[in-house]
Structure 1
Amino acid sequence: MVLSQLSSPTRRWLGLGVGAAILGWMGLGFTLGAWLAPAKTVTAAPQTSAFHPKTPSTTPSAGTGPWAIGHTAPWSAALTTLTGHSTHLARGSQGTIVMAMASWCLFCGYEDKWVWPTLAKAHPHWAIDIVDVSPQGGIADPGPQNPPFHGHDGVGGPLSVTQMQATMRQYVQTYGLHAANIHVYVAPTATQQTWNITSFPTIYVLNSHGVVSQTTPGAVTVSQAQALFH
């Protein structure tokens, strides 16, 4: 029997049946294709924060710029004292800790309030050099020692190098950074640009030979910082 000999209702139902069958086969094909295709994983971009506290790294790794692991530290980098005199990093006979920091940073404040004064006494033959590299005002509230990192960032506007020196003079008095082996400096504009610090604080460990041996982009507690002295 040819299709033209069928009644209109019959042809209509037959057409609907064929269409449903075709759609069913198409759906099955899509299902099988999706099942057989290799799975794709969408990975979110890593979220980073310049102020997130980190555990210190004890494994030397490759670096770039003047603070590359295994390279001699930039001892000749221009710095200024808090009274405006030109100077360079101080060097300890057993080693040196350099913390590139910002006066407004609560994590930097935690280090300067609770960590470095304690370890300066425990390691008198180490120099601890605190260098303000952020031309932004404000003095942080470091918060309590425990729980750590529960203070607040300071608030302030852009500063000149001279204004940074004035801010750090107040900072030293606020935090009581008076140990003989703690040295506080301000980085002039050229040094800020050369060092290119993007995480506050960034801590560098220099061995007795003046070579960069460790680095950690972030704050550490007293117990964690003990691992930096070796």
Structure 2
Amino acid sequence: MVFSDISPSARRWLLGGVGAAIVGWMGIGFTVGAWLAPTSRVTAASSTSTFHPTTPSATPPSSAGPWTIGQTAPWSAPLTTLSGHATHLARGSHGTIVMAMASWCLFCGYEDRWVWPQMAREHPHWAIDIVDVSPQGGIADPGPQNPPFHGHDGVGGPLTVAQMQATMRQYVSTYPLQAANIHVYVAPSPTQSAWHIGSFPTIYAINRQGIVQQTTPGAVTLTQAAALFGASHA
């Protein structure tokens, strides 16, 4: 019997059966292929990041700009007082600490609440210069002294230099920064660009000769801050 001798109804049944068999074998093939294929896992990237404060380091950043270790600090860099007067960094007779910071940064706030006031009392012949270099508003909540770095960033929009000065006046009234050897400044736009700070805070330790001795791109505890003072006392 040939296919043409089969009645039309029988042909339809025969073709349907062949089609079902083909589909069935294809399904089995896909199933077996998926079972034999190597398993791959896609892991979603974390949406949060953890800040790890950096201990004092003698290694300069790759592009240190005017803050190259072993070079003279940029003493003549244009700054403004909180009342808008042109000025520059203050220099201590025994050494100087400069912290490039942001008012909204919780890690900067921790330094200004718990670290620099005590260091200023213990090292009265050192100048501690706090320079706001971030044209972004907000005042940080530094959190408790222990455990450290458990506060919150402040929230605010873009600021002009005059608005940065107003924000830092409020900042100083919030934080205990009244020691005579603590100086608070705002960096105008040219200084912000020249310093190109990539981490808040970035701290520089300068010896009595005015040479940058150490830098740390991150917050420090009291113990680490004391090490900065000791290592730069030359």
TM-score normalised by length of structure 1? 0.76
Which runs of structure 2 are paired with 1:49-128 in the superposition (5 Å)?
A: 52-57=52-57, 59-61=58-60, 64-128=64-128
Alignment partners' CA distance in 2, 1:123 and 1:177: 14
Deviations 1:24-59 (A, max 9, x none): xxxxxxxxxxxxxxxxxxxxxxxxx795411111x3
Equivalent-residue separation in structure 2 for 1:50 and 1:71 (angstroms): 32
Aligned partners of 1:50 and 1:199 also within 8 Å:
no
Find the aligned partners of 2:50 and 2:133 in 1 and give their Cα distance: 14
**Whole-Å Cα distance in 1 between the matches of residues 61 and 166 of structure 2?**
36
Distance 1:50 1:70 in 2: 31
The list of structure 1 runs, each at least 4 consecutive aligned residues, that deviate by more than 2 angstroms after superposition, is 49-52, 59-64
Deviation sequence 1:185-215 (CA, Å, 0-9, x none): 0000000000000100000001000010000
Unaligned ranges ≥5, structure 1: 1-48
Offset, 1:105: 0.1
- How many residues get paired? 181
Cα shift readout 1:151-181 (whole Å, capped 9, x = no counterpart): 0000000000000000000000100210000
Per the normalisation by structure 2, the TM-score is 0.75
> Retained in 2: the 8 A contact 1:102–1:108?
yes
Within 5 Å, give how 1:1-230 maps onto structure 2: 52-57=52-57, 59-61=58-60, 64-230=64-230
Question: 1:62, 1:69 within 8 Å by CA — same for their partners in 2?
Answer: no
Q: Distance in 2 between matches of 1:62 and 1:216?
A: 9
Contact 1:51 1:199 in 2 (8 A): no
CA RMSD of aligned residues (A): 1.4
Cα pair 1:51 1:107 within 8 Å, conserved: no
Identity between Structure 1 and Structure 2 (%): 78
Offset of 1:147 from its aligned partner? 0.2
Distance 2:184 2:192 in 1: 15
Distance of aligned partners of 1:174 and 1:193 in 2 relative to their CA distance in 1, 3 Å threshold? same
Q: Secondary structure at the match of 1:185?
A: strand
List gaps (5 residues or longer) in structure 2. Answer: 1-48
Instruction: Give the secondary structure class of the aligned counterpart of 1:215.
Output: strand
